[in-house]
Structure 1
Amino acid sequence: MSNRQMQTDVILIGAGIMSATLGSLLKELVPDWKITVFEKLSKAGEESSNEWNNAGTGHAALCELNYTSEKKDGSIDISKAIKINEQFQVSMQFWAHLVNSKLIRNPQDFIMPLPHMSMVQGEKNVAFLKKRFEAMSQNPLFQGMEFSDDPEKLKEWIPLVMEGRTSNEPIAATKIDTGTDVNFGALTRMLFDHLKAQNVEVNYEHSVEDIKRASDGSWELKVKNLKNGIVQRHKAKFVFIGGGGGSLHLLQKSGIPEGKRIGGFPVSGIFMVCKNPEIVAKHHAKVYGKAKVGAPPMSVPHLDTRYIDGKKSLLFGPFAGFSPKFLKTGSMFDLITSVKPNNVLTMLAAGAKEMALTKYLIQQVMLSKEQRMAELREFIPNAKSEDWDLVVAGQRVQVIKDTEAGGKGTLQFGTEVITSADGSIAALLGASPGASTAVSVMLEVIKKCFPQHMNEWEAKIKEMIPSYGVSLMDNPELLHEIHSYTAKALGLDKKVAVAR
């Protein structure tokens, strides 16, 4: 072990979209701060941020039915959808700023315009979708949303889905053309290229083995170079743990009280990928359905047009899988070693509560390819097995914690930021909508961890994100301006022209 201790202002653990975003924001706000990044893998964006490890949906709550719920009185609660849409608008503004400032280029390499649709079958679900449409279409954020239960109109919108459909069961869909497909892997790599050009030190194949509080209040990290085995010590005033599923173990090693009584449960995803170009060419949308009873929200079935490496693809899923690993490249002991004396009761309570989820996961793991094809045929009646392959997507660690509303051992399905009381360390846990809300989430980290700087930074933040601190829903004129600004900067107002 080297006795030399490296000193830096900020350490970012993990080279995914969250660290890339936080690093990019800080470099705009305080260019002279020294930032160091450690990533276990050989390049950026290889775990959860990788384009094959997530759905590639620009999550703006335009099509995801799990962001809207029916209340007891029959009305539709769209508050979560509003929050997520506003957060995605923040991400779009920051990306537009980076493009206009020539800090990143060729936005079409990471974001493409694509209609977002919700599709349901059955009388009860059609009634729900219509009520949801009525509630959302009155809100400026969801302007332009259309609803149809006319099979002829649906054949225009989703010809592949309607082709060969013989059931008389009612079917309906909503469609909005302002949706996007986002390649978060490509965006992550672009942001790290930008950070390296701004003199950020990015260390690949470096694993953070331990995190300890130093006597002066800063943080000391033990970092192993995986290429030569050399271990070095690095000190920083601020540490961000953005290691995806690996964040929980590192948070536990920090010993901060805010990290206690928190557990994690891993769920993996499996997608079906179409390998027949003729089928791929027939579909042009992200079409989200309704989750089955007992299924976690991240398992909402969807049929997605994707743009990966300039090529149009078609994916269906996700099917849930189970592995005790917290990362795709993790250890089979990740789950068991995350159980500590301070969270064991929380974990046991979750196990007792979530029997339906456990049963669902077992059923999903046991599915044959033909059983998966049967689920795909609910979307594409004429789907042929030989046209589709299985691809294992990323691992997601769902947060388990004690909450007032849910009690002990409540499974959380969103993104959680854990910060120490003094703001010197922060960790990001959880899953969807994750990457889509990265800018909003990282601004929250900055606000919590650097409150003493917020007054001096606010003008720059507003320059990068014109709607910062303002509700777009309550300011339709500003919303329209921002839509026009981001669409132009990101090329979303141009026709899509990619290899098919």
Structure 2
Amino acid sequence: MAFDKRKPSKWPVEAQEVDVALIGGGVLSATFGLMLHMLQPDWTIMGFERLPKVAKESSNPWNNAGTGHAGLCELNYTKEKSDGTMDNSKPIDINEQFQVSRQLWAHFVETGVLGHPETFINPTPHMSLVHGDQDVDFLRRRWEGLKENPLFAAMEFSDDQEKIKEWAPLIVQGRDPKEHIAVTYDPTGTDVNFGSVTRQMFNYLEYHGVFVETSKEVTDLKQNSDGSWTLRVADHRRRDEGRGPDKFVRAKFVFNGAGGWALKMLQKAGIPEVEGYALFPVSGAFLNTTDPTIVNTHKVKVYGKAKVGAPPMSNPHMDARIINTNRSVLFGPYAGVDPRFLKYGSLLDLPKMIRTHNLLAVLNVGRENIPLIKMLAGMIFMTPRQKLNELRDFAPDAHITDWRMIKAGQRAQIIKTNAEGHGKLEFGTEVITSNDGTLAAVLGASPGASTAVPIMLELLERCFPEQIEGWRPKIKEVIPTYGEKLSDDPAKAYEVMTHTAKVLNLTPPAKPDGV
């Protein structure tokens, strides 16, 4: 498609022309850019990251727990119906998506795009931990509803403290033997360094002529009459020199993977599809330790169950981490209140987001999420003793002096106006595209990074309908189960999961019954 020579009014005629522009230097932009380069190598792609380096926001391994979300341990993904049955559709769906990501990563390892697997992914069992008879019953029924699914065939359940001690000694040491606790344990879980995934992908792209300019911020964008977009790009490297003139880039397609700032760019673009959307920012912090007696003992990720009335984001967890071959353990999250949409954002992010079309939704969410607001306020004023008590639910013998507090990344949860006109807080990710398919963005938080590949596949299908049929053979070559559900075919699930585990040096799956 040729560019129309007409430009937005008051913007200069001169502009660098590219086929695709990427806003943001995180794992979503890296994944999309690499997939698009793989499918259409003749297209010109350029990226822009406002910070001096890529992967410094949510993709930074210290800004997240690196769980490699697969629905194995996150109890908030399972909903208990009014009749007492378990709805496990979401953990199964999340696991399906993560298997797609694993297939792409395995292909990239085999083809040299990504380096040795241990540089970005490591086997780390996933556990769920609950306390008390009621929650033990909940966990048992959840396990019973999942264990027949081939994606969860390796999962075990136990409420025997001696057995639990074999899997995670810190959970049992110092605990009252009479306390009724239970866990599910899945050895096929992983720990993922999304910062390393991002950097390696961008390094490969740069080697093949796809550049991401750092310290460059897209501050505005306008659509041209031919459907292309003109981006205004500020150069932050020249601030100390009085900052040079902005430059302009024209792109036929724009992907906004800027995390919490994606909504800001969508609002500047003025597309109607973003009306009614807002964001609810939540800051986070973790206790971290590198004490050898702890990190050499605790080599699992353990997720708890949110207390009654608490929001899903409050699920406590104690995570083994492996970052650049160094082991540590994180515990949290300790949430807080911060109006920024990014860790290195602006204090004005929240007020600048407010529009007439989303004001009522924001107010409604504030009114209907009092437990969340109370939780955030309470965490701000938690004493060291209170923080220690939270930790001791997981590790009864823990000492606060062995841990230090580190700030995590900002989470910007979606506020969405529903059919009744009320605002609803969403705990997930969502792809937003313009009606003509020339602009796309991803809003929301977890489990975005873990499911980046299927999210980008959805984006390709929605925004490139003319090309997708021609791309399918290549996608199927890279992701053999593209368009399929592994849960529907135990033999295929076992075959695919065994292959990716072998390539990525991960724990192999359990063989489903009948396979």
Which TM-score band (shorter chain)? over 0.9
- Do the aligned partners of residues 490 and 352 (structure 1) sit closer, same or farther apart at CA in structure 2, a change above 3 Å counting? same
Q: Please show how residues 321-360 of structure 1 align to structure 2 within 5 Å.
A: 321-360=336-375
CA distance in 2, matches of 1:27, 1:266: 33
Given that residues 2 and 231 in structure 1 are in contact (C-alpha distance below 8 angstroms), is that contact kept between their aligned partners in structure 2? no
1:5 maps to what in 2?
15
2:400 to 353, 361, 385: 385
In structure 1, the partner of 2:334 is: 319
Note the C-alpha offset of 1:490: 1.1
Q: Out of 179, 182, 185, which is 1:175 matched to?
A: 185
Match of 2:147 in 1: 137
Runs of 4+ in 1 over 2 A off after TM superposition: 1-4, 292-296
Partner of 2:388: 373
CA apart distance, 1:292: 2.2
Alpha-carbon offset, residue 295 of structure 1: 3.0
Question: Given that residues 2 and 232 in structure 1 are in contact (C-alpha distance below 8 angstroms), is that contact kept between their aligned partners in structure 2?
Answer: no
The one-letter code sitting in structure 2 at the alignment partner of 1:68 is T
Looking at structure 1, the residues matched to 14 and 505 of structure 2 have their Cα atoms a distance apart, in angstroms, of 48
Task: Quote the residue 2:305 is aligned against.
Answer: 290
- Mapped to 2, the partners of 1:255 and 1:468 lie a distance apart of 34
Equivalent position of 1:245 in the other structure = 260
The residue correspondences of 1:61-460 to structure 2 (distance < 5 A) are 61-166=71-176, 168-228=178-238, 229=243, 230-404=245-419, 408-460=422-474
Distance 1:294 1:322, change over 3 A: farther
Superposed counterparts of 1:463-474, under 5 Å: 463-474=477-488
TM-score between both structures, scaled by the size of structure 2: 0.94
- Other structure's SS at 1:93 match: helix
Shift in Å, 1:2 = 7.3
Aligned to 1:37: 47
What secondary structure does 1:212 align onto? Answer: strand
Q: Tell whether the 8 Å contact from 1:90 to 1:465 is kept in structure 2 after alignment.
A: yes
Deviation of 1:4 after TM superposition, in Å, equals 2.8
**Residue segments in structure 2 that go unaligned for 5+ positions in a row:** 1-10, 509-515
2:109 and 2:94 map into 1 onto residues whose CA distance is 23
CA distance in 1, matches of 2:345, 2:264: 11
String of CA shifts for 1:86-114, please: whole Å, max 9, x gaps: 00000000001111111221111100011
In structure 2, what residue type is equivalent to 1:102? G
Q: Distance in 2 between matches of 1:3 and 1:457?
A: 34
Q: Distance in 2 between matches of 1:128 and 1:19?
A: 38
**How many angstroms does 1:138 deviate by?**
1.2
SS of the counterpart of 2:204?
helix
Partner-residue secondary structure (3-state), 1:319:
coil
Task: State yes or no: 1:483 paired with 2:493.
Answer: no
Contact 2:88/2:145, CA 8 A, preserved across alignment: yes
Deviation at 1:377, TM superposition (A): 0.6
* Aligned mates of 1:69, 1:493 — CA distance in 2: 28
What is the DSSP-based 3-state SS (H/G/I as helix, E as strand, rest coil) of the residue aligned with 1:293? coil
The number of equivalent residue pairs is 493
Three-state SS of the structure 2 residue aligned to 1:58 is: coil
Q: Tell me how far apart the structure 2 counterparts of residues 56 and 47 of structure 1 sit (CA, whole Å).
A: 13
Q: 2:408 aligns to what SS in structure 1?
A: strand
**Are 1:59 and 2:49 counterparts?**
no
Aligned AA (2:36)? L
Residue 80 of structure 1: CA displacement?
0.4
Q: Distance in 1 between matches of 2:410 and 2:35?
A: 27
After superposition, the CA RMSD in angstroms is 1.3
8 Å contact from structure 1 (residues 294, 360) kept in 2: no
Shift of 1:370: 2.2
Does the 8 Å contact 2:66/2:191 carry over to 1?
A: yes
Q: Deviations over 1:39-78 (max 9, x none)?
A: 0001110000000001100100011101111111111110
Among the aligned pairs, what percent are the same residue?
52
Question: Aligned equivalents of 1:461 and 1:95: distance in 2?
Answer: 13
**C-alpha distance in 2 between matches for 1:238 and 1:421:** 13
Name the TM-score, length of structure 1 as normaliser.
0.97
Deviation, 1:275, is 3.5
Structure 1 stretches lacking a partner, 5+ long: 495-500
The letter of the residue matching 2:499 is Y
Residue in 1 that maps onto 2:6: none
The 2-side partners of 1:310 and 1:130 are apart by 35
Whether 1:27 aligns to 2:42 is no
Tell whether the 8 Å contact from 2:114 to 2:197 is kept in structure 1 after alignment.
no
More moved, 167-176 vs 16-25: 167-176
Amino acid at match of 1:274: T
